[in-house]
Amino acid sequence: GIAARGELRHQFCHACDLTPTLLDVIGVTMPEVISGTPQMPLEGESFAASLRDAAAPARRRPQYFEMFGHRGLWQDGWKAVAFHPSGTPFENDRWELYHLDRDFSETTDLADKEPERLKAMTARWWGEAERSSVLPLDDRFGPRFAENAARTQGHRRQFVFHAGMGHVPTDVAPDVRSRSYLIEADIDSPGEGVLIAHGDATSGYSLYVKDGHLVHDLNIGGSHQIVRSTRQIPATACRLGFRMRRIEHQGTGTLLVDGEAAGGMTTTDMFRVLISWSGLDIGRDRGSPVSHYAAPFAFTGRLRKVTITIGDDQVLDGEAAGRAEMGRQ
């Protein structure tokens, strides 16, 4: 166990050190092969010793950093960093040098006073970057976020979620931003409650049944665009849905009961940057509620599955999506 309580530690550590530390603390060795698949070696080092002893030495290996072309390296209490203006040659970047053991806030740049140390650390950065598959460097911003959305889900256009499944993180939930899509919920017996909800009170969408009517809430940044079915849902097994059609910069939403239109709305405010930082639920809304009901508002009938089909007409603002993701960090 760890006897220390309420104490501070000042050794350098990185997020990649967490897994080795946890394995160390519980006495488990990282397997080299899982289900026949060789595992990549862990990048970090355990800092369990520092949890037990405030005077324990810091990690031994250097730690590189890279994001959008900005670079850095920690080594033996020193840190070399380079700010990279997007679209400029990497060889034009100016490297700075700080002695973190004495200057934790990085206020005194020692690059001019320690040129040989800086040269060695810069060379070490390139070596670490090559070893860890960081190269080639890519300083694009918006295009990378747009490409990442396509890469995450590939060419997949249909997602099937079954009742009783767990929470789906937003990063792997169907990406309905700025595109046409169709949600279909197969109901074996009617009831009230959430069929599908993605997001939270700040932003998201929810399809649910309330007072016998099918309701869809398009919640954009806390602004609710709600459409309610013009008739009650059947008292028997049925298919309930919502279709969004994107036409240039606006969308037309239609509630569906057994494939027939049962209410509609038009909006110029679709999901363009992000849906939500909260994920997706089936048959309930686990977090802060997307719409005007008390969470989790679990469906009381029998829900079999929910199918989402997304169109290939997505147009993303990569720059805006990138800024939103960076704000999330």
Domain count, the chain: 2
The angle that helices 318-328 and 142-153 make with each other, rounded to 10 degrees, is 80
Domain boundary (109, 131, 153) is at 131
CATH number for the domain including 255? 2.60.120.200
Whether residues 236 and 162 fall in one domain: yes
Whether residues 206 and 321 fall in one domain: yes
Whether residues 89 and 151 fall in one domain: no
pLDDT at position 328: 47
Domain boundary (99, 131, 163) is at 131
Whether residues 209 and 104 fall in one domain: no
Whether residues 175 and 229 fall in one domain: yes
Q: What percent of the chain has pLDDT over 70?
A: 91
Residue owning tokens 């249909």? 158
Please indicate, yes or no, if residue 4 is contained in any of the structural domains.
no
CATH number for the domain including 43? 3.30.1120.10
Whether residues 322 and 255 fall in one domain: yes
pLDDT tens-digit readout, 156-188: 899 999 999 999 998 889 999 889 999 999 999
pLDDT tens-digit readout, 51-100: 999 999 888 899 999 988 999 999 999 999 999 998 899 999 999 999 99
pLDDT at position 205: 97
Peptide bond just before 136 cis, omega within 30 deg? yes
Separation CA 291–CA 287 (nearest Å): 11
Whether residues 200 and 323 fall in one domain: yes
Query: What would the mean pLDDT of 258-273 be, rounded to a whole number?
Result: 89
Find the helix or strand (DSSP H, E) in which 223 lies. strand 223-228
Whether residues 102 and 159 fall in one domain: no
Whether residues 191 and 44 fall in one domain: no
Query: What would the mean pLDDT of 28-55 be, rounded to a whole number?
Result: 92
DSSP codes of every residue in 149-185: HHHHHTT--EEEEETT---B-GGGS---TTS-EEEEE
Could you give the C-alpha distances from 58 to 9, 28, 55, 75, 80, in angstroms and in order?
A: 10, 22, 9, 10, 17
Please indicate, yes or no, if residue 6 is contained in any of the structural domains.
no
pLDDT at position 325: 55
Q: How confident is the model at residue 323 (pLDDT cuts 50, 70, 90)?
A: low
Whether residues 191 and 285 fall in one domain: yes
Please indicate, yes or no, if residue 136 is contained in any of the structural domains.
no
pLDDT at position 249: 76
At a CB cut-off of 8 Å and minimum separation 6, what does 319 contact? 141, 142, 145
- State both tokens at 24: 């160390």
Please indicate, yes or no, if residue 138 is contained in any of the structural domains.
no
**Cα 188–Cα 192–Cα 198 angle in degrees, nearest 5:** 95
Domain boundary (131, 153, 188) is at 131
Residue 18's DSSP bridge partners are none
Query: What would the mean pLDDT of 109-115 be, rounded to a whole number?
Result: 98
Rounded to the nearest integer, the mean pLDDT of the chain is 90
Range of the domain at 37: 15-131
Q: Are 295 and 199 in contact (CB under 8 A)?
A: no
Could you give the C-alpha distances from 131 to 127, 151, 158, 295, in angstroms and in order?
A: 6, 24, 37, 48
Whether residues 156 and 187 fall in one domain: yes
pLDDT tens-digit readout, 126-160: 999 999 999 999 887 666 666 666 666 667 899 99
